[in-house]
Chain A
Amino acid sequence: MAVPIAWYLILSAALFSIGVFAFLIKRNIITIFMSIELMLNAVNLAFVAFANHWHQVSGQIFVFFVMVVAAAEAAVGLAIIIAVYRSRETLNVDQINLMKL
């Protein structure tokens, strides 16, 4: 039984929208960062679905590079969160409103 590619793409769009929604309404900085990871994953699913549609390997190569960049981004982002928590003692984004550490 074959599954239409469009269903995968619609699932990817739904995950991306949930990610943007969580980014907007969440107030904890770690949860906001996790919703960014959710958006990256949704885009990866779209890449893999299109790679399947066009029978191209390069779509999957893109996902590989996105994973690498996401790993680097997570390391730096969490380090920034730790630095912010050290100076502010809060994780609420409404109280983190100065660029200065």
Chain B
Amino acid sequence: MHLALFIIFGLMCLGGAVNLLLQRHPINSALSLIVVMSSLAVLYLLLGAEFLALAQIIVYSGAIMVLFVFVIMLLNAGEEERTHGSRAAYLAGIPGVMALFAVLTSTFFTLRTSFGSARLGGFLVTTQDLSRVLFRNLLLPFEVTSILILVAILGAVVLAGKER
């Protein structure tokens, strides 16, 4: 059951990410990113993070992606133009990405026995456990993030609302 769900939603994740890369219209990329985020929510649920799975759906595929789709529609973004970027990005970046992926994958693969495996229901963090840590030990960082959000709202209004 766990394995089947992991394979289905892991493949959906990878497929959505590759589709984001291949599509030329930004709205198609945005919709495939929504697929990636929603299937990541299922993977969080499999790993026992029930609050994060819901927050992923509400915050990421709800709020943030609606903002993206809204901006794409507002700016009437069309198909991506085919222009050449910087040569350094292609020459150093693409082998760098390959090397990064190879190093990470080989590290995780060689350490796979020491990581163990995840069973369904083996480790479940309820909202109660999460909020106990969040509001007892980490109350100050939590309040600081609310100031961050406030500053971000003000910044967004100042940047986007300026009429000339």
Contact = CB atoms under 8 A, between A and B. Distances in A.
Interface of A: 1-11, 13-22, 24-28, 30-31, 33-35, 37-38, 41, 44-45, 48-49, 51-53, 55, 57-58, 60-61, 63-65, 67-76, 78-83, 85-86, 91-94
A13 B103 CA distance: 10
Given A4-B116, A6-B111, A51 B47 contact: yes
Given A24-B85, A69-B148, A82-B159, A74 B67 contact: yes
B160 A31 contact: no
A74 B145 contact: no
B112 to A, nearest CB: 4
A5 B59 CA distance: 25
A15 B3 CA distance: 19
A14 B130 CA distance: 28
A20 B100 contact: yes
A75 B155 CA distance: 9
Q: What interface size band does chain B fall in? A: 35 or more
Contacts of A6: 108-109, 111-112, 115
Contacts of B117: 2-5
- A-B pairs, top 9 by smallest CB distance, nearest first, are A72-B152, A6-B112, A13-B104, A79-B159, A79-B160, A2-B117, A17-B101, A79-B156, A5-B115
B14 interface: yes
Interface of B: 1-4, 6, 10, 13-14, 17-18, 20-21, 26, 29-30, 33, 36-37, 40, 43-44, 46-49, 51-52, 55-56, 59-60, 63-64, 67-68, 71-72, 74-75, 77, 80-85, 89-90, 93-94, 97-98, 100-101, 104-105, 108-109, 111-112, 115-119, 122-123, 125, 129-130, 133-134, 138, 141, 145, 148-149, 151-153, 155-160, 162, 164
A21 B94 contact: yes
B33 A14 contact: no
Contacts of A17: 97-98, 100-101, 104
